[in-house]
Amino acid sequence: MVAAVAFDGVSKRFRVYRQRHHSLKEAFIRRRRGVYDEFWVLRGISFQVESGTTLGVIGPNGSGKSTMLKLIARILHPNAGRITVGGRVSALLELGTGFHPDYTGRENIYLNGALLGLRRDVIRARLDEIIDFAAIRPFIDNAVKTYSSGMTMRLGFAIAVNVDPEILLIDEVLAVGDAEFAQKCYARISQFRAEGKTIILVSHDLDAIRKFSDRAILIDQGDIRADGSPDEVTNRYLNDVRRRQEHPEELADLKTTARWGTHEAEITRIEMLGTDGRPRYAFDTGDPLEVVVSYRCRRPVNDPVFGISISRADGVYCYAANTRANGIRIPRVADAGTVTCSLPQLNLLEGSYFLSAAITDYERGTTFDHWDRRVEFTVRQKQYYAGGVVYMDDHWQVDGTTPVHSPR
């Protein structure tokens, strides 16, 4: 076997500046360039990717997946360990990066192609293919700043796959964009696989991981937690998230959480409860649930609005609701209490999600407390209903009659 990519005890450390001294004076006086916390994004990981295979990489946000891709792409350099890359790499990390807004689509193809290491004559030969793939021919001579985000992304993808890479790195880029283009991307990836290219695919879309990968690894907190067949590893991941319901205190460690507000009223706890009234962090599509937000305030607060929102782990904003939008006006809250939002049916489809909650002011909209991505939970489908984000209660008729359902 030939390894296309090999990691040997690779560690990567990041500095998170709490206070950054960007000026020489400060750096000189304090003898360093800021107050920072160091943390290891990757802790001595080793793995190999066989040439011509597709590796799926999954893990919670902040686990080090993207860092791994950037190390392979040589954008970042490891603090320890050794990385061997045998082949030309093309990275689809953030599509459309490096586009110049004032340039036309055509000019940007040349500029971006050059950035990816393509020669002008190569780009010229593939120009039509790129334009057709991105499906932007009518706009190709307009400035890119007039493009929709979808068009920009399609163009970025079309250029990157035309680099003719030996190793293709894909980071979550397929999660966005319309279905037709997503299909085209998947078809293109299948074609790459058939051509014997090596692909490393990072995604929160477990379906895509199962469908395209020959092997998968699970990364969490900088370590490889599982390495094996895509089915094994994706199940392990779902189980991991499930297991956290038994240890909800672990959730406090989530790096992805963020919080802001004036704290005139504070959220003290956000819980998701199943029908039995006990905390739960894993659901099946269609399950009923309650979200309980506990609050506290030192002084009475007039006219608060309580809200919750759900986003998918890849950032797709799925749902948001609040008391004001529901026609509820809360004149005043004091001391402490709870607000409960009941969802009779969780219509989200399979995936990993985050729940956020916030208390704001009714009139001015001031944020008292916003706790972003406080709770992570997963949704599984007991049986396959549908793909995408939400379940829509679809009904079908064939030639005007409702067909008899056969048991699945």
Q: List residues binding other proteins (CB under 8 A).
A: 10, 14-15, 22-25, 27, 33, 70, 73-89, 91, 93-94, 97-98, 100, 102-103, 110-111, 114-120, 122, 163-164
**By C-beta, is 33 or 225 nearer to other proteins?**
33
Tell me how far, at minimum, the Cβ of 317 lies from other proteins, in Å: 23
Q: How do the residues of the chain divide into helix, strand and coil, expressed in percent and rounded to 5? A: 25, 40, 35
Among residues 273, 394, 283, the alpha carbon closest in space to that of 349 is found at: 283
**By C-beta, is 126 or 373 nearer to other proteins?**
126
Q: Look at strands 3-20 and 34-50 and give their pairing.
A: antiparallel
DSSP string, 61-105: TTSSHHHHHHHHTTSS--SEEEEEE-S-EEEESSTTTT--TTSBH
DSSP conformation class of 288: -
**By C-beta, is 122 or 251 nearer to other proteins?**
122
Tell me how far, at minimum, the Cβ of 259 lies from other proteins, in Å: 25
CA angle 66, 40, 5 (to 5 degrees): 45
Tell me how far, at minimum, the Cβ of 7 lies from other proteins, in Å: 11
Secondary structure of residue 384 in the 3-state scheme: coil
**By C-beta, is 102 or 195 nearer to other proteins?**
102
Secondary structure of residue 232 in the 3-state scheme: helix
Q: Positive or negative CA dihedral for 319, 320, 326, 330? A: positive
**By C-beta, is 110 or 362 nearer to other proteins?**
110
Among residues 377, 346, 350, the alpha carbon closest in space to that of 243 is found at: 377
Tell me how far, at minimum, the Cβ of 117 lies from other proteins, in Å: 5
**By C-beta, is 154 or 370 nearer to other proteins?**
154
Tell me how far, at minimum, the Cβ of 211 lies from other proteins, in Å: 27
Tell me how far, at minimum, the Cβ of 126 lies from other proteins, in Å: 11
